A and B are shown apart, each in its own frame.
Chain A
């Protein structure tokens, strides 16, 4: 029993939340008769998907996917402020010596555009300490497009109301069956 709580409820509670929310939305889409209520259900459904995506990008004890300003290797051209480096999600502190060396290198040979490769070596950001940025990107656009398409759906509902005088699915179907298409 304790195992069940640990494995299923504690480790997977985000999936429980998203499935329950999604099913609430799905139920509203299927069972509700009113178009606006169906749209509300669709929005709840969408929110559940967004929650799911964002929750799989979470890492325990990780920070947001924005690097700290003083922490990037490029900002350390002088390589003297190790203090800033240590307080952020940079890998091992031992790295600061070679990092400083690399930055010196790129500083001296700034004309050569090869310093990109130096960064890659000197960067040493620990990926386990930064949340996965990819779900955030996907959901960022999904939210805005969701708002825009919800607007289209509301516009269609308004148009339907203007033509038929109702937003109830059953009444609408009756009107259509009766051939009263002109409204």
Chain B
């Protein structure tokens, strides 16, 4: 009880100080706020540069994608590495191998080895999921591939794709989903994603430019200029990001829902 009182006091004081501090912040929606327009007499605003120049630099209409995958390519690459590291950490923390060949998950222990077989109580859920999952996956691929021109990209599409496998596991059984997307597959997929991303960076270096400086890739992509090479390379690294995120999202679900055994889940 005393903890709660103390916590309330601390939280109220912190909140009041923060609110006092925000009194000097720019108003909501102010286009001349320092974050959007830079400070007077200071360096020119990077955000303005991105808005006005990034299309000319990269030929990508989605400014978020061009900043994410090109200007801040390093950042995004290591964010992706963080996602992979999180997946490996979960594997290290939770995964248990009770039997000797537990690594190949078999669904033999679950009778309902399809969406509607066996248990009749899941007939509605199973049928719905069977119809909806292909649409979800198609939409995920669209989000990945169209990330240059509309809201989307590797992270978003990867999460949707991973969710489509999770929904299969939820509607049927973890073993059923793992037969289609096994532990080996999703960790390989995640590692391949990083490999694609870093591969683009190394390829740039091999061709004589800086790491992840895609402009030089016009030599191998046969594009009109360095701008289109940047655009196409961004699609490539987004696919890499999507691979990693897809694999790790399902890895997280599979390990958490089965307490690391990868036997029957929720």
Closest CB-CB distance, B85 to chain A, in whole Å? 8
Closest CB-CB distance, A168 to chain B, in whole Å? 13
Q: In the complex the two chains form, is A125's CB within 8 Å of B86's CB?
A: no
Complex contacts, A84 vs chain B, CB 8 Å: none
Q: Is the interface of A mostly helix, strand, loop or mixed?
A: helix
Q: In the complex the two chains form, is A155's CB within 8 Å of B89's CB?
A: yes
Sorting the interface of chain A by its residue count into under 10, 10 to 19, 20 to 34 or 35 or more gives: 35 or more
Q: In the complex the two chains form, is B27's CB within 8 Å of A12's CB?
A: yes
One digit per residue, 1 when the CB lies within 8 angstroms of any chain B CB and 0 when it does not, for chain A 8-42 equals: 10111111100110110011001100000000000
Closest CB-CB distance, B163 to chain A, in whole Å? 11
Closest CB-CB distance, A119 to chain B, in whole Å? 3
Q: In the complex the two chains form, is A15's CB within 8 Å of B19's CB?
A: yes
Partner-binding segment picked from A92-100, A127-135, A174-182: A127-135
* B interface residues, how many (CB within 8 angstroms): 74
Q: In the complex the two chains form, is A133's CB within 8 Å of B86's CB?
A: no
Q: Is the interface of B mostly helix, strand, loop or mixed?
A: helix
Q: In the complex the two chains form, is A116's CB within 8 Å of B76's CB?
A: no
The interface of chain B, by Cβ under 8 A from chain A, is: 3-4, 7-8, 10-12, 14-15, 18-19, 22-23, 25-31, 33, 35-37, 45-48, 50-53, 55-57, 59, 61-64, 67-68, 72, 75-76, 79, 82-83, 86-87, 89-90, 93-94, 149-151, 153, 155-156, 158-159, 224-227, 245, 248-249, 252, 255-256, 259-260
The interface of chain A, by Cβ under 8 A from chain B, is: 8, 10-16, 19-20, 22-23, 26-27, 30-31, 55-60, 62, 64-69, 72, 74, 110, 113, 115-116, 119-120, 123, 125, 127-128, 130, 132-137, 140-141, 143-145, 147-149, 151-152, 154-156, 158-159, 162
